[in-house]
Structure 1
Amino acid sequence: MTASHWGAGVVETHADRIVAVHPHPDDPHPSLINQNIASSLNGRARVLRPAVRSGWLENGPGGGTRGEDSFVEVSWDRALDLVAAELTRVRDLHGNGALFAGSYGWSSAGRVHHAQSQLKRFLNCQGGFVRSKGNYSYNAALVLMPYIVGPYRDHVAQATRWSVIAEHSDLVVMFGGMAGRNTQVSDGGVARHRMRDNLAACHTQGVRFVNLSPMKRDADAELDAEWLPPRPGTDTAVMLGLAHSLLVQGLCDRDFLDRYTIGFNRVERYILGRDDGVPKDAQWAGDISGIPAERLIALARDMAHSRTIITCAAGVQRADFGEQPLWMTVTLAAMLGQIGLPGGGYTIGYGVNANIGNIERPFRSGTLPQGTNAVDKFVPVAMISDMLLNPGARYDYDGAQRQFPDIRLVWWAGGNPFHHHQDLNKLRRAFQKPETVIVNELNWTATARHADIVLPVAAPQERTDFGAGKSDNALVPMPAHVAPPGEARIEYDIYADLSARLGTADHFTEGRDIEAWTREIWTTTQTEARRHGVSLPDWEAFLAGDVLTLPDPSANQVFLADFRADPVAHPLPTPSGRIELFSHAIAGFALNDCHGHASWMPPRDQPSALYPLNLLSGQPGTRLHSQLDNGAFSLSRKIRGREPVILHPGDAAARGIVDGDVVEIWNARGRCLAGAVVSDAILQGCAFLWTGAWYDPDFDAEQHRDRHGNPNVLTHDLRTSSLSQGPAAHSATVQVARFEGVVPDVLAHDPPRFSP
């Protein structure tokens, strides 16, 4: 048995080697991503011994060129001595505020060997570190939504269940669609994939779906959804056009707006154009979005006369001014007056993972305590390049002005910024700035290749743990099936040895080895379970058994039902206690890129003669982010070894491109190669390139062209706004052409060069 973010699996071994991970028999729709595990863990990219970049080793901290230098394999004693000495040097000279622990990523689904918790506990025992704040997935929502409705993470857990939608809804209007490929994964794991059956039940019950996305396949074919593709980045304009139609047709629920919201009078003036002279009517919205005005008018009427739930995909906010479609989603739902009713209202984030609206955990499992961070500095996660390139510079965030720290040492564990981050050529420049970069890794990813010291670590199937998803109702035993290959080690043991060198062993270990900590964390989980009326077996029985399914804590929940029933007894955690369609707090920040109410601001990067296509990118169906990209299933869907890019037949024909061609995609920031897929399931004028191909720069080519198809060589590093500083990578334009030269080999899945 094993657990992963994409599902439980049954591990098959032969001669002390994992040869396959099979679907769990109780999972109705298991993910095929498990097919990557065996081939990736046994692949040639596996990091087998500690390694040090030759330029750093020969010239000292900061020497050489990260990403281009060769590596020297060393003993564990040498590697740990180097790490301990460098930590001590940086702390003594610059303080703990010069240490940055990136550690952003999903890493293992196990609760004990959680990469972030392990590293953060270790560094907190050393006096602390600068951390990142927020995430790449839905950062705008994390910052914005507390001003409008309340904490976004709480509201995701409280989302109306799909069983309720199947029974009560007539219409689901999906901004950004609801891609099935996203619903095969969930942070912390998923034991049973329920989404497909729950959506099928909605369809069987006669619920109608409208997919407002440039990608038709962002709604599964089984939903028979109407496809209304807006131009990328125009969702807010579409919502405003719908809102205008509701106003002029007298279809707003004024009683709901008066009782449950504040500030609609300001919003109404904006929608009607009373202040700026521009009515945001359906014709205005149609001209901007490309959706016919008459269809928007009819859709608004249909939404008002039906029990309607509005969904907004997380990807919609990862664009210029991404806060606005979130705010406008709430505004539009409030105008319909169905928030808090079964099958009505809105949810932001449906489809972002397998569990939202399907299941929730009844209690939190135990975790490794991280301790207290004595350093109070942080940086928004999408600003890492700016932090490294501009130490001491000031920036706005969440209504306050902050200052970038002067980072001298970066330590990354359990994540791959060369997948997540925008504008990779800029990130490469930024990664040259620290004096030292340390990376814990399974494979020679681009992040490992841009490190100075690389520490090889065990995979989830090579250590004992248990899976307990952040939003799943299952506990999954994760026994160690094989030993780590080469000299790879369990991360806890690495940190324990480092702590001994640094004189903090007692503080870090508290006298426990990793087995004792595992039992302690399971005991904590048992105690928490008993508080919720659940009895769990002892550790040995659990580890030898099957998946444990826990009770569903709220099978029929309706989002904001209590607030609707009595807004005085159940106020929202906003300044007014109500839904703030106009926020005096945000208006008081006087930001020019996020006003006091939802507003239309066109994307900064518009199609032009030079770069005529909108670049779209999204989670692939073949892996989670960039994890296990060198696995068999991931490789099976590539085209001539490269990531697929989807082009409309009209755009392909104009460029002489056919299925299977290797194409070059470029703009002023970078360029990459990809494999062409021609399909009429994408809006003309768009190119869709999957995320997660391991970054493979060719340093001899123009703009260090990526050979593999990573879209983040093309995305810009501007943010959604100065309120949330979220990533806005979906607002990018490119040109595409058939590649006519000698097609270079992809080297991303090979190890780097080694020196004696």
Structure 2
Amino acid sequence: MTEKDTKLQNGVRTYYKNLGLCSFAFGSNSAEIDVKDGKILRIRPLRYNRKYKTEQLRPWKIKARGKTFEAPMKSLLSPFNYVYKKRTYSPNRILYPMKRVDWDPEGERNPQNRGKSKFVRITWDEAAELIAKELKRVCEKYGPTSVLVQGDGHGETKTIHGPHGCQIRLMELLGGYTIQARQPDSWEGWYWGAKHVWGQDPVGQGRQANLIKDISENTQMILFWGCDPETTPLAWGGLQASRLCFWFTELGIKSIYICPDLNYGAAVHADKWIPVRPNTDAALQLAIAYTWITEDTYDKDYVATHTHGFDEFKKYVLGEEDGVPKTPKWAEDICGVPARVIKALARKWAREATSIAHNNGGSYIRSCYAHEPGRLEVILLGMQGLGKPGQGQLKLFEWQLFSLHDQNPMPRREIIPSPEGAYQGFTFPVPKQFIPKTLIPKAILSDEPIIWYGITYAGIPKEDQFVQYKYPAEGCSEIHMIWSDSPCWSTCWNGGNMWIEALRSPKIECVVMQHPWMENDCLFADIILPINTKFEEEDFGVDVLGDSFNVVLYEGQCIQPLGESKSDYEAVAEVAKKLGLYEEYTRGKSIEDLIKDGYKQSGIKDRISYEEFREKEYYVVPTAEDWENDEPGFSPFYKDPENNPLDTPTGKLEFYSVGLAENFPDDKERPPVPHWIPYGETHQESLLHPRSQKYPFLIVSNHPRWRCHAQLDDIPWFREIPTCKVKGPDGYLYEPVWINPVDAKALGIKSGDVVKIYNDRGWVLGGAYVTERIMPGVVYQDHGARLDPILPGEADRGGANNLICPTNTTSKNCAGEVTSGYLVGVEKVDIEKMKKQYPEAFNRPYDPYYGVRFEAWITEVKN
């Protein structure tokens, strides 16, 4: 740092941080943090040309239809970034180590009381010693694979300090571990379905290269299918997706939103909203295909030369296979879209260059049998000539995930920086024993070995889906200890109540959670370690998912750690000391050494010296000079499929999936040709199933508008917004439940009432928000609300509906999550009666600005 930079301007020092909220050491939302008198004053966009000349950056411009779209010279921060200082100073921060009061490692462990018992403060020395002793004990008794490391998504974007999995480095020194393999949550239907039609590793969504330019020049209609560009990208991609939507409208491109809810993107941008019942999109898609086939409006020449298995698909669509033609009228009764609207959409699509937009996929792709709409979408694109000008699948954010240039629809940057070298999180190869995240509860609770197909990491090639795995693996132990730095399982994934049951199993002898805030899975811990936020640590970061440029940052420490909090990296180091493995764990490197390692391996060392990088504190990667020449999307395949084959067995779009036919010939839930599957062996979450008589509503649960998954539920500025929380008659701010006026009238519900959403897996409360923005027969409640248990494992006041999601995975042979499109019942609640029935849960210390307070979960320290 230069002398000039150390001089404060009006007492304010500016730092630079990557404020992504759900990434593995990369993300979007680079920001400037102004600090005064040791406190965060404000958060502002990073000005790219603050320390670099604009011409050095070669800012891109897209010119189309007489208009210009150009790179902004500052990052497009979302509301999440601006409020994040409130999260740092939240009264729910964990400020010191704690132990569950009735967990005694030398006596009774009382696992049945996890989630009920309170916590007592202990010292760091005590906490580190307890964890070290438990690690030694379980490793000696059962073997190191008895320790489950939960180290993956839904946390702050960090590189050195705990980007999920610092425990792994220590566990490797102890001889191994079991890893929780994160399944491709936001890409389920693409990963398990679309991959088998067009290949497209790593996650199964289409090639993105230069699509924004192509769409701007050639597209006439965009289908935002199950997509909310004003919500989902906020925590990862800032406001660029929103900006793009305004740009498309300015160009005269029609935006059609197909989703059960008039979401925030649809409310602002839609030329037409087509409400469709959750998890029925496959029926709508098949009816569109039927219209094209019977009206002879699909691209027959393209289908003949670029696809495989069309005849088999055609037989199913026309009803030759099952006697049921997939007509628009047939689909209307299933999906709720009038037949005339289906035909009008199909005909307009056949006439005009059409692209489909997603933010990974949203609830549309995270439901039962989500691989079927995922496959059918690709087939529809193929029937109209995927790769033609203006015809593709646009991914609105997380553009350069996995460091692939062809995953970015924006103008190409010169390089994609990597945090490798400084990165301390989980790494490949996969260890000897792993369990897909969706199967952890089943693995713990089952008395028999469990089997599944695929490692399930989003970056694994599709062929891995044909490999069978088992837990316990050969020569490995069952799980007896859990060490987590991502304690949001109960509020982010499927079957949360079953997860709580698993955490309380007597098989699990010790649960360690490390986290900045007292929330969610932390309530079920035996030992809790206080972790600091990004602002309280020095780090190295990269921003490769951003709006205009790729950025590499030196992330200075903005403020001193609050209380006794440490970073994840430092917390694990404390345990390493007790095990006599500190030098091996740190490899003798300081934080400065690790920052320098990150710089060396990031890809920028030949562009800027380390000294200049530290002086300027960030480096902006310029736009590539030749970006306009990049072939967009699937254009190479469209022009020459023989020399540009897809990564499928036939090299073509597979309407009939060869790999599925060879490996799962008897799978009725994911057959070689995609089908409409209302229910089956794995799921009965359909209005066509008898269960719907008891649970008559389908719930849609999106990525939340005012949170990032389970983060930010204690931000007072958000909680004041009516669509963020609904104030109940008891003064509690409940998670909103959108209900159509027709349904609300029948149920005797009005806005502001407290309602219960329930099924055979449990129940959660919410605040009624009566609106025509949700279609009849459907209710809507965002996922990820902060846990506030009424009966742990059964009922929740906070509205954490992940607790009552299906426990079963996407389908029989697909270990994906199901977090939307399932059956529920809804009823009005007498809150005064409920308060008398559950006095302990309804009398916790509570602040409407921050939710249930930290002290609700702790007991006084006795001298």
Counterpart-to-counterpart distance in 1, 2:410 and 2:673? 31
Q: 1:451 aligns to what?
A: 525
Counterpart-to-counterpart distance in 2, 1:375 and 1:92? 19
Amino acid at match of 2:804: L
Q: 1:586 aligns to what?
A: 660
Residues 381/135 of structure 1: CA separation in 2 closer, same or farther (3 Å cut): farther
CA-to-aligned-CA distance 1:131-152 (integer Å, 9 cap, x gap): 2142322234234444322214
CA-to-aligned-CA distance 1:226-276 (integer Å, 9 cap, x gap): 111111111011000000111111112122122222111111111111121
Deviation at 1:342, TM superposition (A): 2.6
Given candidates 631, 650, 656, the residue that maps to 2:748 is 656
Q: 2:51 aligns to what?
A: none
Map 1:441-520 onto structure 2 (within 5 A): 441-472=515-546, 473-520=550-597
Q: 1:380 aligns to what?
A: 436
Q: 1:634 aligns to what?
A: 718
The runs of 5 or more residues in structure 2 that have no matched partner are 1-15, 22-28, 48-72, 402-407, 454-464, 473-477, 728-732, 836-841
1:753 lines up with 2:858 in the alignment? yes
Deviation at 1:315, TM superposition (A): 2.4
1:565 lines up with 2:639 in the alignment? yes
CA-to-aligned-CA distance 1:468-506 (integer Å, 9 cap, x gap): 234332234421111111111122222233233334334
Residues 725/88 of structure 1: CA separation in 2 closer, same or farther (3 Å cut): same
- Contact 1:158–1:557 at 8 Å: present in 2 too? no
How many pairs were matched up? 743
Counterpart-to-counterpart distance in 2, 1:586 and 1:736? 39
1:130 lines up with 2:186 in the alignment? no
- Contact 2:497–2:762 at 8 Å: present in 1 too? yes
Q: 1:606 aligns to what?
A: 686
- Contact 1:36–1:632 at 8 Å: present in 2 too? no
Further displaced range: 157-166 or 648-657: 157-166
Counterpart-to-counterpart distance in 1, 2:611 and 2:529? 30
Counterpart-to-counterpart distance in 2, 1:409 and 1:48? 24
Counterpart-to-counterpart distance in 2, 1:567 and 1:42? 56
Residues 613/160 of structure 1: CA separation in 2 closer, same or farther (3 Å cut): farther
Amino acid at match of 1:149: W
Counterpart-to-counterpart distance in 1, 2:860 and 2:808? 38
Further displaced range: 735-744 or 299-308: 735-744
Counterpart-to-counterpart distance in 1, 2:365 and 2:526? 35
Residues 237/83 of structure 1: CA separation in 2 closer, same or farther (3 Å cut): same
Q: 2:460 aligns to what?
A: none
Given candidates 493, 496, 499, the residue that maps to 1:424 is 496
Deviation at 1:94, TM superposition (A): 1.6
Identity over aligned pairs, percent: 24
Given candidates 231, 235, 258, the residue that maps to 1:185 is 235
Deviation at 1:741, TM superposition (A): 2.4
Given candidates 396, 414, 419, the residue that maps to 2:452 is 396
Q: 1:440 aligns to what?
A: 514
Deviation at 1:277, TM superposition (A): 0.9
CA-to-aligned-CA distance 1:351-402 (integer Å, 9 cap, x gap): 6789963466632323326566683222222122112211543333233443
Map 1:212-611 onto structure 2 (within 5 A): 212-217=258-263, 219-311=265-357, 313-337=361-385, 339-347=386-394, 349-350=395-396, 357-358=409-410, 362-367=415-420, 368=423, 375-390=431-446, 392-397=448-453, 398-405=465-472, 406-433=478-505, 434-472=508-546, 473-525=550-602, 528-529=603-604, 535-538=607-610, 541-542=613-614, 544-545=616-617, 548-551=620-623, 554=627, 558-588=632-662, 589=664, 590-603=666-679, 604-607=684-687, 608-611=692-695
SS in 1 for 2:301: helix
Amino acid at match of 2:673: H
1:10 lines up with 2:86 in the alignment? no
SS in 1 for 2:528: strand
Deviation at 1:123, TM superposition (A): 2.3
Residues 93/157 of structure 1: CA separation in 2 closer, same or farther (3 Å cut): farther
Counterpart-to-counterpart distance in 2, 1:196 and 1:300? 26
SS in 1 for 2:749: coil
CA RMSD of aligned residues (A): 2.6
Deviation at 1:344, TM superposition (A): 0.3
Q: 2:459 aligns to what?
A: none
Counterpart-to-counterpart distance in 2, 1:661 and 1:46? 31
Residues 677/550 of structure 1: CA separation in 2 closer, same or farther (3 Å cut): farther
Counterpart-to-counterpart distance in 1, 2:693 and 2:192? 36
Residues 596/741 of structure 1: CA separation in 2 closer, same or farther (3 Å cut): same
1:21 lines up with 2:125 in the alignment? no
Deviation at 1:672, TM superposition (A): 1.9
Residues 146/474 of structure 1: CA separation in 2 closer, same or farther (3 Å cut): same
SS in 1 for 2:738: strand
- Contact 1:20–1:37 at 8 Å: present in 2 too? no
Counterpart-to-counterpart distance in 1, 2:257 and 2:711? 29
Further displaced range: 663-672 or 436-445: 663-672
Residues 322/359 of structure 1: CA separation in 2 closer, same or farther (3 Å cut): farther
TM-score calculated relative to the size of structure 1: 0.92
CA-to-aligned-CA distance 1:149-171 (integer Å, 9 cap, x gap): 22143755635522321211011
Deviation at 1:544, TM superposition (A): 5.0
Deviation at 1:325, TM superposition (A): 0.4
1:43 lines up with 2:43 in the alignment? no
SS in 2 for 1:2: strand
Q: 1:93 aligns to what?
A: 141
Q: 1:69 aligns to what?
A: 117
Counterpart-to-counterpart distance in 2, 1:353 and 1:681? 30
Counterpart-to-counterpart distance in 2, 1:226 and 1:346? 19
- Contact 2:183–2:817 at 8 Å: present in 1 too? no
Residues 414/566 of structure 1: CA separation in 2 closer, same or farther (3 Å cut): same
- Contact 1:176–1:218 at 8 Å: present in 2 too? no
Further displaced range: 671-680 or 654-663: 654-663
Deviation at 1:318, TM superposition (A): 0.9
Amino acid at match of 1:639: V
SS in 2 for 1:116: coil
Counterpart-to-counterpart distance in 2, 1:477 and 1:557? 34
Counterpart-to-counterpart distance in 1, 2:258 and 2:271? 10
Deviation at 1:704, TM superposition (A): 4.3
- Contact 2:183–2:815 at 8 Å: present in 1 too? no
Q: 2:191 aligns to what?
A: 142
The runs of 5 or more residues in structure 1 that have no matched partner are none
Counterpart-to-counterpart distance in 1, 2:417 and 2:346? 41
Further displaced range: 165-174 or 492-501: 492-501
SS in 1 for 2:375: helix
Deviation at 1:284, TM superposition (A): 1.1
Counterpart-to-counterpart distance in 2, 1:508 and 1:28? 36
Residues 566/529 of structure 1: CA separation in 2 closer, same or farther (3 Å cut): farther
1:736 lines up with 2:786 in the alignment? no
Residues 219/159 of structure 1: CA separation in 2 closer, same or farther (3 Å cut): farther
- Contact 2:190–2:205 at 8 Å: present in 1 too? no
Counterpart-to-counterpart distance in 2, 1:2 and 1:648? 42
Residues 185/113 of structure 1: CA separation in 2 closer, same or farther (3 Å cut): same
Deviation at 1:628, TM superposition (A): 2.6
Deviation at 1:403, TM superposition (A): 2.5
